[in-house]
Amino acid sequence: MSIVVFEKITEVRTWSERIGASDLSVGFVPTMGALHEGHISLIDRAKGECDRVIVSIFVNPTQFNNSSDLANYPRTYDRDLKLLTDAGCDVLFFPSVAEIYPKPEKRHWDFGLLSNSLEGFFRPGHFDGMLTVVYKLLEIVRPQRAYFGEKDFQQLSLIRAMVQQEQIPVEIVGCPIIRESDGLAMSSRNMRLTPDERQQALAINRVLYYILTAIDQSDPSELSVRGFELLTKSAGLRPEYFTIVNARTFEPLATWPTNDDSVALVAAYVGEIRLIDNMVIKKKALSES
């Protein structure tokens, strides 16, 4: 079956209502395009759990706090369309900026540390724009389930918090990070790395794994400092943060919690490209250490 492309909100609404009226479920994968295997893994999961799958490609201007990042964000429509067709996706929603934002709009959302720390601190306004568009897209598509990658760990936590606060009837499904064979977390930004930077970027994943091997000898605050130093001094990256926080509350940790998972989160520049990655440290791993 070939994929159907909708550019208009009304077309998506009519389609989604028709699917719902036949008692079939809709799975939704919002993206900004430049698709890679990480996105395809979300689509595969959605296909396994839902009767119909819709993907959106919308490079959302309101979540870019840097205009050159928006201008340089990769746009690979023809390749994306082929990947979506091969993945068996039913519908692509590909709206224009005017379709989503007939007038300028950016709601403000405050979820304490979840929205204000780390990405929220270093990319002011990013989460307001991201949550505004996810709220709008969920309201347009009205899926039973929506799929997001755990690579954007803070984004996923915020989307869960927003959906709960706004009482949107959708199940948010978080899916594991997909890595290249050498460990680099898949990201649309990776295609902008030079071959040398691509090699240098491997340090991010290496340091995260190193942290995992050191949890029984050191407390999280020591490891946060060590991770930052390793990225800076040994790998020559420019980290904005390397920190271990409570995976539910995002509180920075002095000692390992016994009731919650922890997560090591990193954002670092490799050349001009800003990459993020993370590793969840299960409370089970800690109790066994």
Any idea what DSSP says for residue 58? -
- Scanning 6-14, 29-37, 95-103, 205-213 for contacts with ligand PAF by CB under 6 A, the matching segment is 29-37
Nearer to ligand PAF, 30 or 257 (CB): 30
- Scanning 26-34, 94-102, 197-205, 221-229 for contacts with ligand PAF by CB under 6 A, the matching segment is 26-34
CB of residue 266 to ligand PAF, shortest distance in Å: 17
Nearer to ligand PAF, 116 or 200 (CB): 116
Contact 140, 7 (CB under 8 A): no
Any idea what DSSP says for residue 198? H
Q: 39 catalytic, yes or no?
A: yes
Comparing CA positions, the residue from 78, 58, 81 lying closest to residue 70 is 58
Give me the catalytic one of 36, 39, 108, 126. Answer: 39
Of residues 120-179, those binding ligand PAF (CB under 6 A) = 130, 133-134, 152, 155
Q: Which of 3, 12, 32, 34 forms a contact with ligand PAF (CB under 6 A)?
A: 32
According to the binding rule CB under 6 A, does residue 60 interact with ligand PAF?
yes
According to the binding rule CB under 6 A, does residue 278 interact with ligand PAF?
no
Beta carbons within 8 Å of 81's beta carbon, 6+ residues apart:
3, 5, 92
Which residue, chain included where needed, has tokens 């001094």? 233
Contact 162, 37 (CB under 8 A): no
Nearer to ligand PAF, 150 or 152 (CB): 152
Q: Which of 31, 41, 243, 246 forms a contact with ligand PAF (CB under 6 A)?
A: 31
According to the binding rule CB under 6 A, does residue 270 interact with ligand PAF?
no
CB of residue 56 to ligand PAF, shortest distance in Å: 7
Comparing CA positions, the residue from 17, 8, 9 lying closest to residue 136 is 9
Contact 50, 147 (CB under 8 A): no
Number of residues that bind ligand PAF (CB under 6 A): 10
Contact 193, 201 (CB under 8 A): yes
CB of residue 128 to ligand PAF, shortest distance in Å: 12
Q: Per DSSP, which regions of 182-287 are E strands?
A: 238-246, 262-270, 273-281
Nearer to ligand PAF, 33 or 239 (CB): 33
Contact 204, 266 (CB under 8 A): yes
Nearer to ligand PAF, 133 or 178 (CB): 133
The total of other beta-carbon atoms located within 10 Å of residue 21's CB is 8
Say how far apart CA 108 and CA 234 lie, in whole Å.
39
CB of residue 148 to ligand PAF, shortest distance in Å: 6
Nearer to ligand PAF, 63 or 157 (CB): 63
Pairing verdict, β 171-175 and 238-246:
unpaired
Q: Which residues are catalytic?
A: 39
Residues that bind ligand PAF (CB under 6 A): 30-32, 60, 63, 130, 133-134, 152, 155
